Amino acid sequence: MLQLAQAQPVRAVLDVASPMGFRVFAGERELGEDLYRNDVSRNASLVAAHPRIRTLMVERQREIACQGPVVMAGRDIGTVVLPDAPIKIFLTASVPERVERRLLELAARGVTVDPRTLRAEIEERDRLDAGRPTGPLRPASDALEIDSSGLTVEQVVERIGAIVAAGASR
């Protein structure tokens, strides 16, 4: 795995025409929708548990952050990847909420999964990520936590926007 990660470095390219506003590549291969496949999500914790791969990925994430202002999501962004970020938000939601959102996301891509299986996968990923020795899942001490359970995307964006606006006025 480490050789693959070294041979095909991950990079992000700003692209306002793409749905997310950026595109992600591994080497010269654009990852696109592959990033959102259920098997990728399911295996992310297993890959992140390898310290040398995690070190390499943290370096890549920091390189991306150095390109300019960035919003970065991940389970150890505020504690490991960008501990000096001026604004840190720990966004969370209940397991049932996350299961429902993931089911809808997968259904929009034409993928059907068993809700009980998906719940078990989410809980196992949380358990693995919270217990790993390298970059465990936990909020940074200076992060502001938002529980997005029961909130719409627009409500979450509004709350984050208010935090950013308050942080920018300091």
**Residue 60: its pLDDT value, please?**
87
| Cα–Cα distance, 78 to 153 (Å, whole number) | 21
Enumerate domains of the chain plus CATH numbers: 2-168 (3.40.50.300)
Mean pLDDT value across the chain = 87
Higher pLDDT among residues 134 and 96, named by residue:
96
Is the pLDDT at 169 greater than 70? The verdict is no
Burial code (b: 16+ CB inside 10 Å, e: under 16) for 106-120 equals beeeeeeeeeeebbe
Average of pLDDT values for 30-37? 80
Nearest to 115 by CA among 38, 51, 56, 47: 38
- pTM, two decimal places: 0.76
Element (H, E) at 99: helix 95-108
Q: Is the dihedral of CA 159, 129, 14, 106 positive or negative?
A: negative
Structure tokens at 44: 């992310």
